[in-house]
Structure 1
Amino acid sequence: MTSMTAPPAQSKFGTVLRVTSGNFMEMFDFFLFGFYATYIAKTFFPAADEFASLMFTFMTFGAGFLMRPLGAIFLGAYVDRVGRRQGLIVTLALMATGTVLIACVPGYASIGYLAPLLVLIGRLLQGFSAGVELGGVSVYLAEMATPGHKGFYVSWQSASQQVAIIFAAALGYGLNIWLTPLEIGNWGWRVPFFIGCMIVPVLFVLRRSLQETEEFMQRKHRPDTRAIFRSMVDNAGLVVTGMMLVAMTTVSFYLITVYTPTFGKSVLHLSTSEALIVTLCVGISNFIWLPLMGGLSDRIGRRPILLCITLLTIVTAYPAMAWLTNDPSFGKMLEVELWLSFLYASYNGAMVVALTEVMPVEVRTVGFSLAYSLATAIFGGFTPAIATGLIEATGNKAAPAWWMTFAAVCGLVATLVLYRKQEAKTLGSTTLPLRSS
C-alpha cells in the first residue's frame, strides 16, 4: 500500500485552516439558532405564553445534542476505520443539509405543524454530524502537530469556533442596524442562515484538499466496527470520566456565547446591540486565550491548568453573576462575560488536547467524540433551556451560574480521577501521556 504523508511543515497553517473550516460552519449555525431564538420561537413554535414558546425553541436546540452520542458512535467508528479526511467530508455534508433545512422551511403560519417538525429534523441532522466533528478535527490536529506543540495545535479546534461567533455576532449587529425589528422578525433572521448556505461550497473545497494524517496511514491495524464498539464497552469508565472533564467546557461555552444574547435582552433588558457587542467581545477573548493556554499546557502540563481553572470557576462564577444581575449595565455585563470567557478558554485550551491523549489510539476518534458528545447532550446542549428554567423557577437572575459551578465541580473531579489513574499506570510501567512531550 502506498503511504500518503501529511502536509509538510511549511503548510501547517493551511492544514489547520482546512481541517477547522467545518468547525466554523457548525458553530456558526448553532450560535445563530441561539441568538435568533426569540424570532425562531415566534416563527415555528407560536404559543400564548412567551416563556413556553422560548422553551420549545431551546428544547429543539437541545434535541440536536441528543443525537451527538449516536453520531459519535457510528460516525466516529467510520472515521477510525476509513480515515480522518473522508470522515470530515461526510460530517460537513450532513451539517450543510441541516443548515439548508432551517434556512428554507416556511413558518408555522404557512405549513402548520410540518414547520417545527422540519426544523427539528434539521437540528437532529446537525447534531448527528456534530457528534464526531469536534472529535475528528481534534484528533486530526493532534496527529499532525509538531512534537511538543500538540496543545497549541489542538486548541485551534475551539479557536475556529470563536471566528464563527465573531462573524455571526458582527453580522447580527449589522442586520440590527440595517433592518427594523419587524423586518428581522418576519424574514431578516433567515439572512445569516442563507449566508451560511453560500459558505458551504467553499468549505467543501477546503476539506476535499486535506491529506490523510501520516500517523493514521502508517497504522497497520485498523479495527472493524465491532471491535471499535467492543473497545468502547471495555473503556466505558474512561468515556464517562472524559464526559465529566468536558462538562465544564461545554456548559461554560454555551452559557457565554449562545445564551448571552438572550440573557442580555430578555433577562437584563439591555438592547440587542449591546448584547451583540458583548458576544462579539467574548468571541475575540476566547480566540486569544485558547491558543495561549493550549501552548502553556505544552510547557507546564495539562493538570495544573485544569485544576486551577475549575477551582477559580467554583469560587467566582456565582459572585460575578450576582454582581451583574444586582444592577445590570452594559459595562458590567462585558466585564463578567470576559471573566467567564477567560475561565472557559483557559480550561478548554488544556482540556481538549488532554482528552485526545487519554483515549486508546485505535479508537481515538470515537472515544473522544463519545465523551464530548455525551457531555454536550447531558450538560451543554440544554444550557440555554436550563438557564431559562432556573431563572423562572427561582426568580434569581444569577441562577445560571449555579449550573456553571456544578459543571466546574464535575471537571475538577474528572481531572483528579484521570491523573490519579495516570500516576498508577506510571508506577505500573504503563505510561499514558496526559502531558505532551
Structure 2
Amino acid sequence: MTASNTTLAQPAELKSRLGAILRSTSGNFLEQFDFFLFGFYATAISKAFFPPGNDTNALLLTFTTFWLGALMRPLGAIFLGAYIDRIGRRKGLIVTLAIMALGTVFIAVCPTYASIGIAAPIIVLIGRLLQGFSAGVELGGVSVYLFEISTPGNRGFYTSFQSASQQVAIFVAALLGFFLSEVMPADQVAAWGWRIPFFVGCLIVPFIFVLRRSLEETPAFLAMKKHPTASEIFASAAVNWKIIVLGMFLAAMTTVTFYFVTVYTPTFGKNVLKLSTQDSLLVTLAVAVTNFIWNPVGGALSDRIGRRPVLLAISGLALVTAYPALLWLTANPTFGKMLAVEMLFSFYFGMYSGTMLGALVEIVPAHVRTTCFSLAFALAAALFGTFTPLASTWLIEHTADRASPGFWLMFAAASGFLATLAIYRGGGQTVEAPKPVPA
C-alpha cells in the first residue's frame, strides 16, 4: 500500500472506529438512563411502591431496593462474563441488552402499592434484580470491547468512552426531568409523571438493539486460538482472586463518586440542601457535561504519563478535600456552591474513571478479560457505588451532619489510593502488559 493510499484509508478507519464506539456504548446509555431515573425519582417511587406512613423509611426502602439490584451484579459478571469470554463480545452484549430492557419494562408498568399492595415492591425489586444482573457485565463487556478495538498508545482514551457514554444518558434523563418539572405541576409528576421517562427508555430499546446487532467481533477475540470453557473461566477467575479484589478497591472511587454526583445529587439537593428541583437538575445537567469531558481527558493523559500518577493524584486530592468541600456547601447551601462542589467531584470522577477503566482491563488476564474485569467492577458497584445513596441517607439521619457523606467519599478515595499503590508497587505501567490488538 502506498503512502497516499494509507492516508486515504485513515478517515474511513476513523469513521469505522467511531461507529463501533457508538454501537458498543449504546447499551450503557439505557442502563445509566434507568439508574439515574430511579435515583432522581426516588421520593416519588418510594411513595408509589412502598407502604405509606414514614417518608424517611420509605426512601430508605427505595434506596435499599436500588442497592439490592446491584448485589446481582457480581452474579451477572460471573455467568454473563463467562458467556461473553466463551462465545464473543458481540453476541454477549446483545444478550445483556435484552435482560436490561426487561427489567426496565417491569419498573415502568408496575402498579402502585395502593393498587396491589406488597406485590408492588416485589415487582420493582425483580425489575432491579434483572437490571443489576445485566449491568454486572454490561460495563465490563463494553470496556473490553473498546480496549480490544483501540490502537496501541490510545487504550486509555478509547476505553474511557465506556464511562463517557453514560454521561450522555445522565444528561438526557436530567433534561427530560427538567422539562417535566417545567410543564407539569409537582403533584402530577409525583403521582404519575415520573413514569414518562421510564416509558421513553422502553421506546428507545428497539433502536439500541439495531445498533448492537451491527457490531463486529473484536480482532483480539477472533485471534484467540482457543476460547475457554465456562469451567475453565471460573477456575481462572478463582486463581486470579487477588487481582480481582485489588481491582474492586481500585474501582471503588469511580463507582462511589459517580453515584454521588449523578444518582444521589438530585435527592441531596432537594431533601438535604432544600434547593429547588430545577436547581438540582441544572447541577446534574452540568455534571453530565463535565463528566463526559473529563473521562477521555483522563484516559488520554494516562496514555501519555501512565495510569499510576493520575490515579494517585486524583484519589489523594479527593481524600483530603471531600469532607471539607461538603462542609462548606452544607453550612450555607446555595445553587452556586452546590454547582462548585459538584464540579470538583465531577473532575475527580472523570479523570480517575477515564484512567481506571484502562488500568483495570490491562491488569486482568486476557483470556478471561471480560469475566475478571466485570467481577471486579461489579463488586465495587455492589458493595460501594450503588450503596452510596443509602449510605449517605443513613449517615445524615444518624449523625445529623449534612456533610457526613463526605466520609463515605473519603473511604472510597482511600481505597483507590491504596489499591493503586498495591497494583503498581513496582512502579511499572501495568501488572500485565496488554497484547497488541490487530488493526
Q: What TM-score, normalized by structure 1, do the two folds share?
A: 0.95
**Cα distance in structure 1, aligned partners of 2:104 and 2:310:** 36
Partners of 1:298 and 1:147 lie apart in 2 by 10
Aligned residue among 271, 274, 278 for 1:273:
278
Matched, 1:419 2:424: yes
Matched, 1:105 2:105: no
Task: Give 1:433 deviation, angstroms.
Answer: 2.4
Does the CA contact (< 8 Å) of 2:364 and 2:432 recur in 1? Answer: no
Contact preservation (8 Å) 1:23, 1:133 = yes
Report the Cα offset of residue 292 of structure 1. Answer: 1.1
Distance 1:197 1:83 in 2: 26
The equivalent of 1:387 in structure 2 is 392
1:285 is matched with which residue?
Answer: 290
The alpha-carbon deviation at position 23 of structure 1 amounts to 0.3
Distance 1:260 1:77 in 2: 35
1:381 is displaced (CA, Å) by 1.0
> Residue 244 in 1 paired to residue 244 in 2?
no
Distance in 2 between residues matched to 1:373 and 1:389, nearest whole Å: 23
Partner of 2:226: 221
Q: 1:4 maps to what in 2?
A: none
How far has the Cα of 1:320 moved from its partner?
0.5
Q: Say whether residues 1:264 and 2:280 are aligned partners.
A: no
Determine helix, strand or coil for the equivalent of 2:99. Answer: helix
Q: Identify the residue that residue 213 of structure 2 maps to in structure 1.
A: 208
* Contact 1:301/1:435 (8 A) holds in 2: no
State the SS of the aligned residue for 2:424: helix
Q: 2:92 aligns with which of 87, 90, 93?
A: 87
Q: What is the CA-CA distance between 1:47 and the residue it aligns to?
A: 3.0
TM-score, scaled to structure 2? 0.95
Structure 1 residue aligned with 2:237, among 211, 232, 239?
232
SS at match of 2:30: helix
**Deviation string, structure 1 residues 250-269 (Cα, Å, up to 9, x no partner):** 00000110000000000000
1:321 aligned onto 2:326: yes
Of all paired residues, the percent bearing the same amino acid is: 59
1:301-316 correspondence runs (5 A): 301-316=306-321
Q: What letter is aligned with 1:368?
A: F
Distance in 1 between residues matched to 2:378 and 2:268, nearest whole Å: 25
Residue aligned with 1:106, SS: coil
Partner secondary structure for residue 99 of structure 1: helix
1:131 matched residue in structure 2: 136
Matched residues in 2 for 1:193 and 1:363: separation? 34
Matched, 1:167 2:175: no
Equivalent residue runs for 1:337-356 within 5 Å: 337-356=342-361
Instruction: Select the residue among 61, 65, 81 that pairs with 1:76.
Output: 81
Contact conserved, 1:150 with 1:436, CA < 8 A, in 2?
no
SS of structure 2 residue aligned to 1:220? coil
Is 2:160 aligned against 1:155?
yes
Q: Which amino acid aligns with 1:403?
A: W
Instruction: Verify: 1:432 aligned to 2:437, yes or no.
Output: no
Alignment match of 1:197 (pick from 174, 196, 202): 202
Q: Which letter maps to 2:432?
A: L
Secondary structure of the structure 2 residue equivalent to 1:13: helix
Structure 1 portions without partners, runs of 5+: 1-6
CA contact (8 A) 2:307 2:356 kept: yes
CA distance in 2, matches of 1:216, 1:9: 21
Aligned partner of 2:377 in structure 1 is: 372
Say if 1:282 and 1:200 are closer, same or farther in 2 by CA, change over 3 A: same
Aligned-residue offset at 1:306: 0.2
Aligned pairs, number: 426
Contact 2:249 2:416 survives alignment (8 Å) = yes
> Unmatched 5+ residue regions in structure 2?
1-11
Distance 1:421 1:337, change over 3 A: same
Residue equivalent to 2:6: none
Aligned amino acid, residue 299 of structure 1: R
What per-residue deviation string (whole Å, max 9, x for no partner) do you get for residues 63-121 of structure 1?
A: 11000000000000000000000000000000000001100011011111111100000
- The offset of 1:432, in angstroms, is 1.8
- Of 112, 120, 136, the residue aligned with 1:115 is 120
Query: Given that residues 314 and 352 in structure 2 are in contact (C-alpha distance below 8 angstroms), is that contact kept between their aligned partners in structure 1?
Result: yes
Distance 1:142 1:413 in 2: 25
Is residue 2:22 matched to residue 1:17? Answer: yes
Note the alpha carbon deviations across 1:340-389, whole angstroms, 9 max, x for none.
Answer: 00011111110001000000000000000000000111111110000000
Structure 2 CA distance for aligned equivalents of residues 92 and 297 of structure 1: 30
Partners of 2:224 and 2:328 in 1: CA distance:
54
1:58 to 45, 59, 63: 63
The SS at the match of 1:64 is helix
Summarize deviations over 1:150-206 as a string: whole Å, max 9, x none. 111101000000000000000000000010011101110000000000000000000
SS of 1:258's partner is coil
| Cα distance in 1 between the residues matched to 2:36 and 2:154 | 30
**CA distance, structure 1, for counterparts of residue 191 and residue 325 of structure 2:** 36
CA positional deviation for 1:435: 12
